[in-house]
Every structure is written in C-alpha cells, then in structure tokens.
A and B are shown apart, each in its own frame.
Chain A
Amino acid sequence: MSVDSDIAIDVRGLTKFFGAKKVVDNFTLQVARGHIQGFLGPNGSGKTTTIRMICGLLTPDSGEGRCLGYDIRRQQEEIKRYVGYMTQGFSLYRDLTIRENLEFVARVYGLEAPEDAAQAALERLGLVARADQLAGELSGGWKQRLALGACILPGPSLLLLDEPTAGVDPKARRDFWDEIHHLATQGLTVLVSTHYMDEAERCHQIAYIANGRLLASGTIPEIIASANLSTWVVTGEGLDPLSSQLKRQPGVDMVARFGSALHVGGRDEAAMERVAERYSAEGLHHWRRDEPSLEDVFIDLMTRAGADQ
C-alpha cells in the first residue's frame, strides 16, 4: 500500500490556528498520483501552513489526512522518507559546496552510495564543473535548480514545492517547469504553490486558497466554468480613469488591467451586458466579449475574498 497508492495526497478538514488566528480553515484536497497540483492564493493565505501540515512539519488542530498513504499525524517519519519538500527560502547550507550539500542530503536519506548519488545529481543538474563552489555563491536561478536537485536526489514519490520560482528569471522558470513535467511523467506527484498564472496554467489541477479557505479547486476549465464570469475586453485611450469608474458600477465584479487592455467581468451576466452596452454606446472605447481567463477568475476570487474580511 502506502507509497504506491493512487491518491498521493488525501487530506480532509485540515484546520490550523496560530494563536487566535485561523490560518487554515477546513481544507480538503485530493491529488492523484503523477499529477501536478497547482496551489494558488494571495500572500498570507495559508499555503505554506497547508504544505507544512501535509508533510508533517505542522500538526493540524483538527482534520486528518494521508500523504502517500501515511497518516499525517502519526507517521511523519515515513512521510519524510518519501517526500521532497522545497522550502520557500533557500535552505541548503550556503557555506557548504554544491557537492557537499548533495552528499549531505544523500546521507541523511540513508542512500547506499551517497557520493555516487551526489555525482549523478550533479550531472543531471549540469553542475559538475561548479561542484566545488559554495552553494551560497550561486545565482537565484541556480540556487533553485540545486534545491530541486537536492529534493529529488533521494527519489521521492511526492514533491512539495513552496513558491519555487519566486525571484527567478523567465527562462529559468520555463526550464524548471519542463523539469517538473518530466518528473510527473515518471510518476512523481507534485504540489507546487505559485503566484504566476502561466505556471498555474501548466498544472493538471489547481486549488485556490484565500484567508485559509479553499475557494476553488479542479482543472482549469472546471474552475473557469464554476466562476460563471462574463467578461469583456476593453481597449482604447484613457483606460485608467475608466477603470476607477467601472469599479463603482453595480454588476461589475472584476476590473483588471492587462497590458494595453482592461478586463471587465461580472457574475450577473445581464447586469454586465447592460454596463457593456452603455459604455460601448459612448464610443470612447472598444468593448469586446471574451471568454474569461484563469487570471480573471482569480482576480474575481481575490476581490471577493478581500471583501469578506
């Protein structure tokens, strides 16, 4: 059972308080083996806390769950053996060389030939030439690659990646995601938190959390459909004053600037249509009906979550 079960993450009703503050509220999620699960939400929404509960670093105040078939409350030791957790900040030893860091990880996981495993990881990462450089001297992108390399070195069944691409350039981010997909095709399950929409779109499934509560979950089409948002794309001159005006209009739930265009959306289709007709009749801007994008939906979710507080 356990490591080979089809559901890699199966948590129900996870709740965590920090003092009086409810940081995670009744969080439920299932992730199938080999899937890439995106985890989105604003800063401070409880993503890191949730990830820590899944890998046994935090004990939930209520709720239960299994990670790779192991109980997250009682079998943390087993979970640690098969889960690679990449923390938000760089958490390898800066004053150790790249090779020394990898050998440390290999030994901690009890690998039979730690030197060989580290060498193999160096080759995989393309870091053989820089193996003896201190890890702290690497650039942001390389640090992140090394951290991922260290996570997968012991051959985990599940990867938990907490904002792995924060502060990393677009090319490195792209390579990173190619690598994640490559790992998933080999049967590795990945839970990755991110703020980037293009990254979210590369996930098989997405969970959106705000104020500790799961607001949306599913595939991208499912999430877009369930949001029930009618959107228009507005182009023309003077979009900024228009934006502040529209935000006050009844029926408009979401206004967001995308490059040279304004995305305007509302959940009440009829009301939104009236707004669109009135403004396009003024002839100052060009209004065009469009399918809502994932980002439109998230901005709407975030606006609503903000209004709740």
Chain B
Amino acid sequence: MSTQEGLPRVVPRPARRGALAQSWQRFVAMFVKEFIQLRRDRPTFAMIVGIPIIQLMLFGYAINTDPKHLPTAVLTGDDSPIARALIGALRATDYFNIKYVARGEADADKLILSNKVQFVIQIPPDFSRQLIRGEKPGLLLIADATDPTATSGAVAAALGAANQALDRELTGPLASLAQNAPPYEIRVHRRYNPAGETRRNIVPGLIGTILTMTMLMYTAMSVTREIERGTMEALLAMPVRPVEIMLGKIAPYVVVGAVQMSTILIVASLLFQVPVVGSLFTLSVLTLLFIVANLSVGYTFSTVAVNQLQAMQMTFFFFLPSMLLSGFLFPFHGMPMWAQYTGEALPLTHYLRIVRSVMLKGSNFGDLAVDAGALAAFTLVAMSVAVMRFRQTLD
C-alpha cells in the first residue's frame, strides 16, 4: 500500500480506464476541444465552406484557355468592299472584337502598348488593287504575343477564316482568283514574344503573384499580433494616431518588397532569360506602388480580423481570385464579364498588365497611366478603410 492510499481523501479518486482506453480518451479529449474551438470561430467556420465553393466557381466558370472577342484595332488604308469583307470575315470568327480604328501606325502601337487591344489588323492602302492584279498582297495581323495562350486560338482562326473570306466577293471576272489558294497572304506578326514562349508571360506574372502573397501576409498579421500578444492596450493608451501606426507598420515591408522585387528580377533575367525591354525605373516605381497597394490590403484585413487565423484566411480568400481572375494563369479576356469586372477590382490584374508591358513591350508611364491610377486608387481606398476600421478605444 502506498502512502497515498493511506491518506484520507477529500476528493475521491474517480475510476479510470485501462491504458489503451485512456490513450483513446486523450485523443477524444483533444478532438472535442479542437472542434469546439473551431466552431466558436464563426468566420473560420464560414470559410471552411466558402473557400471550396468559391474556388470551384472560379475554376469552373471563369477559366477559358481559348478566349474569344479579343480587343482588336483595324488600321486600313483601303476602304474597298474587299477589305471590308475581309474584316467582316475575321470578325465572324468571334475571336476579334474590333474596338478601335487606328489612325496610323504610331496610333496602333500606342493601343498595343497601353493594353487597349491585343490585335491590330493592318490592311495596306492599295490592297484591293494589288489583289485584283493578282499580286498577292499581304494582310498583316499584329498580335500582342506576351500571352501566347491568349492569342494562339485567334491567330489560327484568322488563318482559317481568310481562306473562305472572299468567296462571295470574288465572283464574275474575279472568279479565277477564288480558285486555288487565297489571292493574298496573311502575315502574322507575333510581337514581343515571337517564339511564343510561355515563360516570358509567366515569369513577369510571377513577380506580381509572389509579391501579392508575401506582402499580404506580412501586414495581415500586424494588428492581430498586437492584440494577441496583449501589446495593443498599451499601444492605444499612448499618444499615437491610427495613421501613424498604419504607415509605421507598412513602411518596413516596402523595403522588404523592394528586396524581393530585385531578387525576382535578377533571377528572372539570369535563369529564365526574360528581358526587361522597358525602363527599369518605370518598372521599379510601379512595382513599389503595387507593393504598397498589397500591404494596405493586408493591413486592412488586419484591422478587421479578430485573430491571426482569421487574418490568414482573409489573405487566402483574397489571394485565390487574384491568382485566377487577374490574367496570371488564364487569359483575362477569356473570362465571362462578371469575372473580368471582379478582376478589374484586384491590384494584381493591373500590375500584371504593368509588369508584362514594361518588361516585354517597353511601355512607359503614359501607356500605363490607367493601371497605375487603379493601383493608387486601390491603395487609398484600402488605407482609408483601415484607418476608419482601426478602433482607437477598446469599446
């Protein structure tokens, strides 16, 4: 008999299970505890269901690797019925949505550099005259091949459509022209990525994706961490304003972001031979703007989330559509309109246009003013929400 057994007990020792049953019991104890904690955290509980549904919707409906209705400009010096019939045939493929009529080659270049169009159909001034003379004139299809997936379908369709395009026009005396091969040739000019290399599209996109993920994570934790570590109350009791807290918390990560950006750029050019055609200065300034935009979003999450887990999940919740709806993995114009509108509201969408355009096409500030403006507006809205959401009291 141990001395323990000899002592009178105030609290009787309840009967215990056998060794194996005790182990099972301990597992059940942990399981029940974790489950209760999970259930108490409502937002987390909602996201357990929400994340798969949203992911399925995005993958299922938004993704289309053979996009149609791509924005196109026409540059023609020939207003003949033949030229018009040709354009009509291209339009009938459903791949080309003719949104602009370019006033000249410079104008056409501008449209491509500023991402307003993905194609320019260029018909030379004396196209129909040369055609009638049997000189086989050339029709130029300029494709913005920075995203080869997005343009390949359209290019193939254009080549196919051209064969029958003029069948109705070439009747009577011109019937002989319709006999064999088309009496003109389509020359496709894949600009910026003539070999159609996917990595030229993916690597710049990765800069944006990686920065989105890392930047969001850094700031999404920043306020919840203060709350969870118990330092928030003391911070609030000090004479520091919400804007000062926000800017002070964001600024260090701008430096971190700049380091990340440089790392990715160096690796991109050394390992993947992706060139930087445009100005490095333009790229750096606009990337910093993008970094700040993401840090602001993360910080806003941080002021809304109650704990770090929630902040993490919000980050994930934001990251997912950013990956799928921004044009990073799948062509932007292949998505239904609702997905495109959603995409327009994401900073990554605008940054992808910026980074691809500057790196591959050499676009400048002027070309990218709209996207840069969108990033700036996004940052301002996120910061305003964060400052308003930030509670200065513990009420």
Residues of A within 8 A of B (CB): 52, 55-59, 76-77, 80-81, 83, 85, 87, 89-94, 105, 108-110
Contacts and interface: CB of A to CB of B under 8 A. Distances in A.
Contacts of A59: 393, 395
Given A87-B230, A90-B230, A92-B231, A57 B237 contact: yes
Contacts of A93: 229, 231
A57 B231 contact: no
B395 A58 contact: yes
B394 interface: yes
Given A87-B230, A90-B230, A93-B231, A57 B236 contact: yes
B18 interface: no
Contact of A108 (B229, B239, B395): B239
Given A58-B395, A59-B395, A87 B239 contact: no
Q: Helix, strand, loop or mixed for chain B's interface?
A: loop
24 contacts: A52-B394, A55-B237, A57-B237, A57-B394, A58-B394, A80-B237, A81-B239, A83-B237, A85-B234, A85-B237, A87-B230, A87-B234, A87-B237, A91-B230, A91-B231, A91-B233, A91-B235, A93-B229, A93-B231, A94-B229, A108-B238, A108-B239, A109-B239, A110-B239
A56 B393 contact: yes
Contact of B393 (A57, A89, A91): A57
Nearest to A81: B239
Nearest to A136: B229
A87 B233 contact: yes
B240 interface: yes
Contacts of B232: 91
A91 B230 CA distance: 6
A300 to B, nearest CB: 29
A93 B231 CA distance: 7
A85 to B, nearest CB: 4
A58 B393 CA distance: 6
A57 B233 contact: yes
Contacts of B231: 91-93
Contacts of B234: 85, 87, 91-92
Interface string B208-232: 0000000000000000000001111
B342 interface: no
B395 A80 contact: no
Nearest to B236: A57
A77 B229 CA distance: 24
Contacts of A85: 234, 237
Most chain B CB within 10 A, of A87, A109, A110, is at A87
Contacts of B233: 57, 87, 91
A108 B240 contact: yes
B50 to A, nearest CB: 28
A85 B232 CA distance: 12
B392 interface: yes
B230 to A, nearest CB: 5
**Which of B237, B239, B394, B395 has the most A CB atoms < 10 Å from its CB?**
B237
B392 to A, nearest CB: 7
B230 A89 contact: yes
A80 B239 contact: yes
Contacts of A76: 392-393
A109 B233 CA distance: 16
A108 B236 CA distance: 11
B239 A77 contact: yes
Given A76-B393, A93-B229, A105-B238, 18 more contacts: A55-B237, A57-B233, A57-B236, A58-B395, A59-B395, A80-B238, A80-B239, A85-B234, A87-B230, A87-B233, A87-B234, A87-B237, A89-B230, A90-B230, A92-B231, A93-B231, A94-B229, A109-B238
Contacts of B230: 87, 89-91
Nearest to B240: A108
Contacts of A77: 239
Interface in B232-264: 232-240
A83 to B, nearest CB: 7
A22 B240 CA distance: 30
A94 B229 CA distance: 9
Contacts of A57: 233, 236-237, 393-394
A142 to B, nearest CB: 17
A58 B234 CA distance: 13
A157 to B, nearest CB: 13
A89 B394 CA distance: 15
Nearest to A61: B395
A77 B244 CA distance: 14
A85 B234 CA distance: 7
Nearest to B230: A89
A98 to B, nearest CB: 15
A39 B240 CA distance: 28
A58 B237 CA distance: 10
Nearest to B237: A85
Contacts of B240: 108
Nearest to A77: B239
Nearest to A150: B234
